[in-house]
DNA sequence: TATCATTTGTTCGTATGTATC
DNA sequence: CGATACATACGAACAAATGAT
């Protein structure tokens, strides 16, 4: 057992209350689905002020252990279990230029618009401030109801080389890949994954439970010969509802990996 | 004394204040590194109570826009940029049975212990309540200071087949793979990724900035012939500091994947 | 349908502790 | 040391949602 440097907090009552209740949840004294004692009850139970209890419960909420509902109470959530929906991130190739991508159902028709590339997607495409076609979809898993936001970004520089992309940008992703392959390009794919706390609009659109992070995946499609990025898929999934699944295929090359370390661009 | 600014009330005053300040940050009126006006100033600026301002600032903190420090003030963080450290998740094979895995530096010597498999790792290994050897490491990226927690779980069922694993469980991961391969097993790898709000101890151990999610990756090593899971690597990375990078290699097989959908186990 | 008790959400006030400069 | 700023904690009151009567 390694010496664990325990950081002693200068006693904060609300943290102590939160830790106590959290332990009670882990010990099973409060079962998932149960209601916690009401704020008034906890004020009496622990002999502290209402504000202290509220801060403690807020702590439990941001820890993802409970969820509060006005007029009803504070519900204990099931802790530790993996999210139900598994998002397959593999790509299969049935024939030359024919790509298979596991997909979720679409909630609505895709929304096509013209945007300027900025932020992470622009940086990864190496096309900051350049124009692109943006195709937005809301995906969902019928069996669990989990929602995800999908965006395809097609830089205008790519449509210049492969004009057919601009004709039907809202086609299936596999079709876009097919068109790129038919233009004589050899495709390689890289996924870049990060996570953050969702914005309020994302929280509403994807029905994200309280305090659950958002996982964001950028799939960059590049040309193998020139290493030039051609296309970007952005997928936003609520971490509480989705896992990502990657089959890791060993590469035979002796790991000729350039140490490409991204520097903070803003 | 700052000028007094009027503010509309859509729903909750503290949300309105938070939205206003968030917009000011996005519009560049508050630059990254700047200090927000003090709580007392904001009370005067917006004509609201101290509690309302505190709730608004708390909102901004959980949104990841600012960070508060006692005695100093509330600092505006730089938003939108991708985290600096890129964690490569590829596996290369230089020769038969010789595996290459990109790795970060180790902070300390590995800690070996005996545990009972439970939670997500146990479920993914299909070995709930079975015994296993656990090897814990703290990794870090010297160039950015980012820390990550790595755990190797070796089920006793696997050491029964490959006894050498139990001899030096704290060897390099590649060495463990090598021993499995020498035992006549054909290895396949799958990564399963999720994210959640970190626990306080994780927050302290990994130096996670306020309200940043934790990304958790499970790499399951299985035998290709029997599809039996042999080994699990668990990697916890702070999302604010790390991205995960996956090269997606298309599989030639026509996606003969069983739709294994996990159900909530607790 | 309407009323009512319960429970959380929001807002105000005040006071004290503690870290930073 | 003092001034400033955030953190914690007590109090009170009303609003809004919920569920049962």
User: Distance from residue A196 (CA) to nucleotide D16 (C1'), in Å?
Assistant: 31
**Whether residue B202 has pLDDT greater than 90:** no
> Do B198 and B87 form a contact (C-beta atoms < 8 A)?
no
**Whether residue B25 has pLDDT greater than 70:** yes
Residues of chain B neighbouring A215 (CB-CB closer than 8 A): 193-195, 215
Question: What average pLDDT does this structure show over B41-62?
Answer: 90
Query: By percentage, how much of chain A surpasses pLDDT 90?
Result: 41
Query: By percentage, how much of chain A surpasses pLDDT 70?
Result: 85
**Whether residue B162 has pLDDT greater than 60:** yes
Q: Which of B194, B205, B237, B266 to mutate to test the interface with A (most CBs of A within 10 A)?
A: B194
Residues of chain B neighbouring A261 (CB-CB closer than 8 A): 84-86, 143
Confidence label for A252 from pLDDT (cuts 50, 70 and 90): low
pLDDT in tens, A106-142: 777 889 999 999 888 999 999 988 999 999 998 888 7
Question: What average pLDDT does this structure show over B260-264?
Answer: 40
Give the list of residues 6+ apart from residue B13 with CB closer than 8 angstroms, or none: B7, B48, B52
Nearest protein residue to nucleotide D18 (CA to C1' distance) is: A71
Q: Which two tokens stand for residue B221?
A: 């090593």
Of all residues in chain B, the one with the smallest CA distance to A101 is B255
The mean of the pLDDT values for chain B is 83
The span from the CA of A120 to the CA of A106, in Å, is: 25
**Whether residue B105 has pLDDT greater than 90:** no
Confidence label for B126 from pLDDT (cuts 50, 70 and 90): very high
**Whether residue A261 has pLDDT greater than 80:** no
Strand partners, B234: B151, B218
A84 touches chain B (CB under 8 A): yes
The A residues from 246 to 265 touching B (CB cutoff 8 Å) are: 246-255, 257, 260-265
The span from the CA of A266 to the CA of B28, in Å, is: 12
The span from the CA of B105 to the CA of B99, in Å, is: 18
pLDDT in tens, A45-86: 999 989 999 999 998 888 778 988 889 999 998 766 777 788
User: Distance from residue B70 (CA) to nucleotide D7 (C1'), in Å?
Assistant: 7
B5 touches chain A (CB under 8 A): no
For residue B258, the model assigns a pLDDT of 42
Give the one of B83, B108, B248 whose C-beta lies nearest to A191's C-beta: B248
**Radius of gyration in angstroms for the set of CA atoms belonging to chain A, rounded to a whole number:** 23
The DSSP secondary structure of A121-141, one letter per residue, reads HHHHHT-TT-EEEEEEEEEE-
For residue B264, the model assigns a pLDDT of 37
Give the one of B99, B190, B255 whose C-beta lies nearest to A100's C-beta: B255
Query: By percentage, how much of chain B surpasses pLDDT 70?
Result: 86
Of A52, A48, A53, nearest to A37 by C-alpha is A53
For residue B2, the model assigns a pLDDT of 46
How far B254 CA lies from chain A's nearest CA (Å)?
5
The span from the CA of B220 to the CA of B189, in Å, is: 6
pLDDT in tens, A9-57: 447 888 889 989 988 988 889 998 889 999 999 999 999 989 999 999 9
**Whether residue B3 has pLDDT greater than 60:** no
The A residues from 134 to 163 touching B (CB cutoff 8 Å) are: 143
For residue B140, report the phi and psi dihedrals to the nearest 5 degrees.
-155, 155
Q: Identify the structural domains of chain B with CATH numbers, from first to last.
A: 13-76 (1.10.10.10), 85-245 (3.40.1410.10)
User: Would the CB atoms of A261 and B84 count as touching at under 8 Å?
Assistant: yes
For residue A108, the model assigns a pLDDT of 78
pLDDT in tens, A140-174: 887 777 888 999 999 999 999 999 999 999 998 88
Q: How far is CA A164 from CA A14, A159, A232, A233, in A?
A: 60, 7, 17, 18
pLDDT in tens, A198-233: 876 677 778 777 677 899 999 999 999 999 999 999
Nearest nucleotide, CA A53 to C1': D9
For residue B210, the model assigns a pLDDT of 67
Confidence label for B115 from pLDDT (cuts 50, 70 and 90): very high
B184 touches chain A (CB under 8 A): no
B111 touches chain A (CB under 8 A): yes
């Amino acid at each position: 057992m390694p010496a664990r440097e325990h950081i002693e907090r200068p006693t904060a009552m609300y943290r102590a209350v939160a830790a106590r209740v959290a332990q009670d949840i882990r010990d099973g004294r409060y079962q998932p689905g149960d209601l916690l004692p009401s704020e008034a009850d906890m004020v009496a139970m622990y002999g502290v002020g209402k504000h202290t209890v509220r801060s403690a419960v807020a702590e439990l909420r941001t820890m993802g252990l409970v969820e509060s509902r006005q007029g009803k109470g504070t519900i204990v959530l099931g802790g530790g279990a993996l999210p139900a929906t598994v998002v397959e991130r593999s790509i299969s190739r049935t024939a030359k230029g024919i790509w298979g991508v596991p997909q979720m159902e679409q909630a609505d028709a895709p929304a096509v618009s013209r945007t300027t590339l900025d932020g992470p997607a622009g940086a990864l495409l190496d096309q900051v401030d350049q124009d692109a076609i943006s195709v937005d979809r809301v995906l969902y898993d019928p069996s669990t109801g989990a929602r995800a936001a999908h965006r395809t970004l097609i830089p205008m520089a790519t449509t210049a080389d492969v004009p057919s992309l601009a004709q039907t940008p809202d086609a299936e992703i596999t079709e876009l890949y097919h068109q790129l392959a038919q233009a004589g390009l050899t495709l390689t794919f890289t996924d870049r994954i990060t996570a953050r706390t969702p914005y309020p609009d994302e929280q509403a659109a994807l029905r994200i439970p309280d305090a659950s992070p958002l996982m964001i995946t950028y799939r960059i499609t590049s040309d193998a010969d020139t290493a030039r990025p051609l296309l970007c898929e952005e997928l936003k999934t609520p971490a509480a509802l989705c896992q990502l699944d990657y089959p890791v295929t060993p590469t035979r090359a002796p790991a000729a990996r350039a140490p490409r370390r991204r520097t903070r661009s803003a």
